[in-house]
Structure 1
Amino acid sequence: MTPAPSAYHQRVAQEKRALIVRAATELFLELGYDRASLARIADSAGVSKATLFKQFPTKAALFDAIVGDSWAGNDVADVPPAGDLTAGLTVLGRRYATLLGQPEMTDLFRIVIAELPRFPELARAHFSQGKLPYFETVRIYLLAERDAGTADVADPELAATQFLGMISNYLFWPSLLLPDWTVTPARTTAVVEEAVRTTVARYGAR
């Protein structure tokens, strides 16, 4: 029976994984997904090819890890309890704003957009493993509020799209085209609060 790795070896493996993911993101942006070979990524990360292949046997697996890391955190899969539409949407909106504010999120979208004509599977992976699970969290939450009688939502999918769109259209999408686009924490809070108020005004149970 193979012994479990020690805490030290687990930490070293995690540190090397982070180096690989960071190096891959930078090279995908610089060279493109196709030209950034795994060997070159290993060299840039300062790890051996054997170490890289052990964690990521294919370039697609490495890209999946970049997607997962970009969308991870902030308990994105946790659905707030139903009963207070304003409070629940505020939690979801703040989480989304935090995710979109990560520098690696902008990098990820730029990679996907740049490689879309040649590698449409990258966009599908990004959507299915990143955006879709978060979108589903919002949709399921709105369904729960409808069932609780606190929201009048005939089309939860459309309502979730509207809510998230109000946030991303100000906080995120301009940054892809305008390198100097910055949003202050106070402005971020205001954007989320306005999205919540608009959604509650439209879908809150009368």
Structure 2
Amino acid sequence: MTTEPSAYHQRVAEEKRAAILRAATRLFLDSGYDRTSLAKIAEAAGVSKATLFKQFPTKAALFDAIVTESWQAGDGDEEAPPPGDPRAGLALIGRRYVALLTRPDMADLFRIVIAELPRFPELAESQFRRGKMPYFDSVRRYLEAERDAGTVRMEDPGLAATQFLGMISNYVFWPRMLLPHWSPDGPAMERVVDEAVLMMTARYAEA
């Protein structure tokens, strides 16, 4: 007979999982993916190796979890804006995207992938499949909902999602990969989002 874990044990397991993810992200960044062992991660997280292996049996599974969590907007439970007002909806999505891209762990994660790409191309595949694509799909679905509501006219919502996110990330995020001190202030990022929304509505909004 099996029993459900108590609320206390669930909370402890969640706290240990969070500690493992934090320790793994830091060690991957400091030492590289290849030179970081699960044993070192367990020690840095303050958990036993058995506890770590129970949650993440392989280093690849642990990296997948880091990617998935890093790409979750907010607390991971934010709903898409309701269709009907594409300007307001895109503005909300754009500001959420800025908040996501400016998390310290997001830039760190990309640096891990870029540094280890020649030896571990599967890390880039994980970043794309478990992180970027689910987020991109959520924006594409929002644009499809706006199209179905008759507020925008577009043949390819996927292309439109790429255009919108690209206008924001090309200013807010990608320069940080080459310029360590790139840190635009809040008003500058707000303006980028506002301009991206204006571009999208000028191109796609129904008159």
TM-score, scaled to structure 1: 0.94
Q: CA deviation at 1:6?
A: 2.1
Partner of residue 145, structure 1: 146
Partner of residue 32, structure 1: 32
1:11 corresponds to 2:11: yes
Partner of residue 200, structure 1: 201
Report the Cα distance in structure 2 between the residues aligned to 1:175 and 1:56, rounded to whole angstroms: 30
Partner of residue 131, structure 1: 132
Report the Cα distance in structure 2 between the residues aligned to 1:64 and 1:157, rounded to whole angstroms: 24
Partner of residue 181, structure 2: 180
Partner of residue 2, structure 2: 2
Report the Cα distance in structure 2 between the residues aligned to 1:76 and 1:98, rounded to whole angstroms: 15
Partner of residue 160, structure 2: 159
Question: What does 1:40-55 align with in structure 2 at a 5 Å threshold?
Answer: 40-55=40-55
Amino acid at match of 1:3: T
The 1:116/1:76 distance shift into structure 2, 3 A limit, reads farther
> Is 2:56–2:62's contact at 8 Å kept on the other side of the alignment?
yes
Partner of residue 95, structure 1: 96
Matched positions, count:
206
Report the Cα distance in structure 2 between the residues aligned to 1:188 and 1:2, rounded to whole angstroms: 51
Partner of residue 57, structure 1: 57
Amino acid at match of 1:94: R
Instruction: Please give the secondary structure, in 2, of the residue aligned with 1:83.
Output: coil
Amino acid at match of 2:123: L
Q: Gapped runs of 5+ residues in structure 2?
A: none
Partner of residue 118, structure 1: 119
Report the Cα distance in structure 2 between the residues aligned to 1:146 and 1:197, rounded to whole angstroms: 17
> Is 2:73–2:97's contact at 8 Å kept on the other side of the alignment?
no
Report the Cα distance in structure 2 between the residues aligned to 1:76 and 1:67, rounded to whole angstroms: 16
Amino acid at match of 2:43: D
Amino acid at match of 1:28: F
Q: CA deviation at 1:2?
A: 2.7
> Is 1:78–1:137's contact at 8 Å kept on the other side of the alignment?
no
> Is 2:107–2:177's contact at 8 Å kept on the other side of the alignment?
yes
> Is 1:84–1:150's contact at 8 Å kept on the other side of the alignment?
yes
Report the Cα distance in structure 2 between the residues aligned to 1:3 and 1:157, rounded to whole angstroms: 45
Q: CA deviation at 1:50?
A: 0.7
Instruction: Please give the secondary structure, in 2, of the residue aligned with 1:5.
Output: coil
